[in-house]
Chains A and B, each alone.
Chain A
Amino acid sequence: MAQPAKKAILVIGGGISGVSVAVEAAEAGYNVILVEKNPYLGGRVAQHYRYFPKLCPPYCGLEINFRRIKQNPNISFYTLSEVTEISGSAGDFNVKIRQFPRYVNSKCTCCSRCVDVCPETRVNEFNFGMDTTKAIYLPHEMAFPMKYAIDDRYCKGAECGKCVEVCKYDAIELDAKETSFTLNNIGSIVFATGWNLYDMKKVDNLGFGRVKNVITNMMMERLAAPNGPTDGKIERPSDGKEVKKVAFVQCAGSRDENHLNYCSAICCMSSLKESTYIREKNPDSQVSIFYIDLRTPGKYEDFLKKVEKDEKIKMIKGKVAKIEQASASDDVIVTFEDVINMRKMEERFDMVVLAAGMEAQTKMKSLPGKLQLEANGFIFPTQAEGIYSAGVAKKPGDVTSSVQDATASALRAIQTAFRK
Chain B
Amino acid sequence: MNYTEGQDKDSKNQNMAGSVILSPDLKFIRDIKRLGGETVKKCYQCATCSGICPLSSENSPFPRKEMIMTQLGMKNELFRDSDIWYCHNCNDCSKLCPRGARPGDILGALRAKFIMENSVPRFLGKIVTNPSYTLFAFFIPAFLLFAILVSLGHLSIPDGKIVYSRLFPVESIDLFFSSFVAISLIMYIISLRRFWLRLRKEDNPQTERFGKALIQAVAEFLLHRKFSKCDVNSDRKNGHLMVFYGFVGLFITTSWVAFYYWFFHINTPISLGDPLKWVANTSALLLIIGTLILIANRLKDKNVNSRSSSFDWTFAIIVLLIGLTGLSTEIVRLINITDLAYPLYFIHLLFVFYIIVYFPYSKLAHFGYRLLAITFHKMAGTDVT
Contact = CB atoms under 8 A, between A and B. Distances in A.
Interface of A: 205, 251, 255-259, 292, 317-322, 335-337, 339, 342-345
Interface in B36-78: 44-52, 56-59, 61, 64-65
Given A320-B51, A337-B50, A342 B98 contact: no
The CB with the most chain B CB atoms within 10 A, among A319, A336, A337, A345, is that of A337
A335 B56 CA distance: 11
A205 B52 contact: yes
Given A251-B46, A342-B65, A343-B61, A321 B52 contact: yes
Contacts of B52: 205, 321-322, 335
Interface string B91-106: 0000010111000000
Nearest to A258: B98
Given A255-B98, A257-B98, A257-B99, A339 B45 contact: yes
A336 B98 contact: no
Interface residues of B, number: 20
A344 B96 contact: no
Given A255-B98, A257-B99, A322 B65 contact: no
A344 B99 contact: no
A337 B64 contact: yes
Contact of A342 (B49, B61, B100): B61
Given A257-B99, A344-B51, 8 more contacts: A205-B52, A255-B98, A256-B98, A318-B51, A319-B98, A322-B51, A336-B47, A345-B58
Given A342-B61, A343-B61, A337 B51 contact: yes
A344 B61 contact: yes
B59 A339 contact: no
Contact of A318 (B44, B47, B57, B100): B47
A312 to B, nearest CB: 23
A344 B57 CA distance: 6
Contacts of A344: 50-51, 56-58, 61
The CB with the most chain B CB atoms within 10 A, among A205, A319, A320, is that of A319
A319 B51 contact: yes
Contacts of A336: 47, 51
Contacts of A339: 45, 47, 64
B77 to A, nearest CB: 13
Contacts of B51: 318-322, 335-337, 344
Given A321-B50, A344-B56, A337 B61 contact: yes
B98 A337 contact: no
Contact of A319 (B48, B56, B58): B48
Contacts of B61: 337, 342-344
Interface string B195-235: 00000000000000000000000000000000000000000
A347 B64 CA distance: 20
A192 B47 CA distance: 36
A356 B58 CA distance: 28
Interface in B140-178: none
A319 B98 CA distance: 10
A345 B52 CA distance: 11
A258 B65 CA distance: 22
Contacts of B100: 257
Contacts of B48: 319, 321
12 contacts: A257-B99, A292-B45, A292-B46, A292-B47, A318-B50, A319-B47, A321-B49, A336-B51, A337-B47, A339-B45, A339-B47, A343-B59
Given A336-B51, A344-B57, A319 B65 contact: no
A223 B100 CA distance: 36
A318 B45 CA distance: 8
Contacts of B64: 337, 339
Contacts of B45: 292, 339
Contacts of B58: 343-345
Contacts of A259: 98
A240 B48 CA distance: 31
Nearest to B56: A344
B130 to A, nearest CB: 31
A280 to B, nearest CB: 30
Interface string B372-384: 0000000000000
A252 B52 CA distance: 15
A257 B102 CA distance: 12
The CB with the most chain B CB atoms within 10 A, among A258, A259, A344, is that of A344
A318 B98 CA distance: 13
A322 B51 CA distance: 7
The CB with the most chain B CB atoms within 10 A, among A251, A318, A321, A322, is that of A321
Contacts of A258: 96, 98
- Nearest 9 A/B pairs, CB to CB: A321-B51, A256-B98, A344-B61, A337-B50, A319-B46, A337-B47, A321-B52, A318-B47, A292-B46
A251 B98 contact: yes
A292 B44 contact: yes
A293 to B, nearest CB: 8
A251 B98 CA distance: 10
Contacts of A317: 47
A103 B52 CA distance: 51
Contacts of A256: 98-99
Nearest to A334: B51
Contacts of B99: 256-257
Nearest to A260: B98
B256 to A, nearest CB: 46
A93 to B, nearest CB: 41
Contacts of A320: 51
Contacts of A257: 98-100
Nearest to A345: B58
A301 B45 CA distance: 22
A150 B259 CA distance: 89
Contacts of B57: 344
Contacts of B65: 342
A257 B50 CA distance: 18
B61 to A, nearest CB: 4
A177 to B, nearest CB: 48
The CB with the most chain A CB atoms within 10 A, among B47, B52, B61, B96, is that of B47
Nearest to A317: B47
A288 to B, nearest CB: 14
Contacts of A337: 47, 50-51, 56, 61, 64
The CB with the most chain A CB atoms within 10 A, among B44, B61, B100, is that of B61
A255 B99 CA distance: 8
Nearest to B100: A257
The CB with the most chain A CB atoms within 10 A, among B45, B50, B99, is that of B50
